[in-house]
Structure 1
Amino acid sequence: MDTTNLKKVKLCKLNDCGGDVKKRWFIDYGIYNPLQKRLETKRIWLPTNPPNADYRYQLAKDLSNEIDKKLKRGILHSTPKKEKKLTPTNFLEITENILTKLVAEKVLRKKSKQRYYTACKHLDNFLLKTSIHFTDITSIIVQDFIKYLKVSDRHKKNIVGFLKSVFGYLIENNFMPYNPFFGSDDKIKYEDSELNCPYSD
């Protein structure tokens, strides 16, 4: 374990509101901000559904373990945000702006843009239902999202593939520190091995 990294982070701590499942539980952790020369607190809100304490404690434990491992390895870090023209706070608005920009730059075709946007709508519905902000998504939450999708496994893999690319663009635009969708499609088992590549038409 690199103790140098531990000096620049604060490991996860759960606030369970005294065990009251009617309230919003959250996990706080800290990342060192080199510009401000101090620890910057990050917060992950746990989903309100289902209103079950055991489920939330287990979810909090899994999330904390996942994040703490990355903190100790120095994977998570505070990236100074550049000035950006993208100002919306809504997930669909942000992704729409990014995808439109990519089409204008001829990085993405219009037909592909619609496929990306459709995948984003699936995720947005899940985020609204679970009251999770897109910047708080972890690989564990991605697995819950995959279970939430009421489509075939082949379709799930396509959706995750598109979202993996979308979150790559979000990282490039300083909205995300890492991509929670990496490796998620490998955990989807399906019979038909043929799928649409998110980079093609």
Structure 2
Amino acid sequence: MSQKLTDEQKRKLFNGQLAPPYRLAKLHDYNGDLSKRWAVEFWVWNQNLNNGKGGLHRKQKKFTTKLSADERRRQAQEFIFDINEALILGYHIQSTKTSDNKEAAIYAKETISATDGIDVILKIIKVQLKSSSYKDYKLECDKLKNYIEEKYPGLLLQDLDTQIALEFLDFEQVEKNLSNTTRNNKLSAFKSVFESLKTRAFINENPFSNIKKAQQKKSQKHAFRKYHKDILLPYLREKDPQLYYVCMFEYYLFLRPGEIQTLKISQIQWEEKRVVINNDSKTGRPRFPVISEACEKVILEMGVLGLNPDFYVFGKSRKPGPVCTGHNTFRRRFMEIRDKLGIESKYSLYSWKHTGNLDSLMAGVNIKAIQQQNGHTDIATTDAYLQSLGFEHNEQIRSKQPSID
């Protein structure tokens, strides 16, 4: 304690006792069951409980299931000795109450645990992100919390440094045999989470900010060639008309399979000749792909205009209806047809979007219009995307380079 207390003050603080109450630590080993996470349990006096009146606070130290029984018991014995000694000598969690609210807030941030700090920022970003994006962040943060609990129990948020962050990323990659791309995606997520903590003054430095991305291969995207179209399109028209139109929406509107799956008739704004995507699956912002004259013919042929606007364009019953198709249904159906026709597996349903982009560019559509149709935030993104399709075609060189003759 920071100051000497009278016996009366001690009794007031510690529920009538001269020293903080506690319950000594003991090991729960589940009768030797190694499939369970053994834990040492102890109870410490926490002055912050019960509106500042204090109370016993149950805490645990858990052991990873990767340890043998002997290793767990040895670590447990060491921990029990240390924590019991501390409890007997008066270890307790002091009150964070202070007359200065600002001082209290600073104290709370300085003494918050790493796992609690991560929980705090997750609650904040939950209301800022789409539910699917939030789930991805939470999944990664839960992995980091579990790692900290096993390797650094009780770690304060301010003590989570770059070394621990790097250890965690290395552990994840080695244990799960992750690619550099997946590792880099994790790194980007944690940089964002901890930057939010830094912005809110929970930490002074972002422990992930100075970690460099691992080198990764540029992914090659594949667009269909003419002979693919000649094989696929007639077959799709005859055998699976709904899937044929799904491919057309990807090709002309640059929609992603998930956006097509949940597309409603009301999102087709026929008078404005555009489709409304309320939440772009990559950026979360609305975008408005244009209905070209070629795409207009496809929509008229489908006969969806004038139907119930709340119907899904590509319903579960293979026609517009009140229930949308399953998440991976279109992908599975396309893969079956692709394989049946002997087309290489590197081509996917998504390849129709790539094909639409490449064909539009080759037909003379300028890159700014392609950027807008894709909903890319800048030209650089569109340029990188087109390069990933193998397009490094320089029209100026092709059409204007002089002959040496």
TM-score by length of 2: 0.25
* Higher RCO (CA-CA < 8 Å; seq separation 6+): 1
Say which one has the larger Rg.
2
Q: Which has the higher strand share?
A: 1
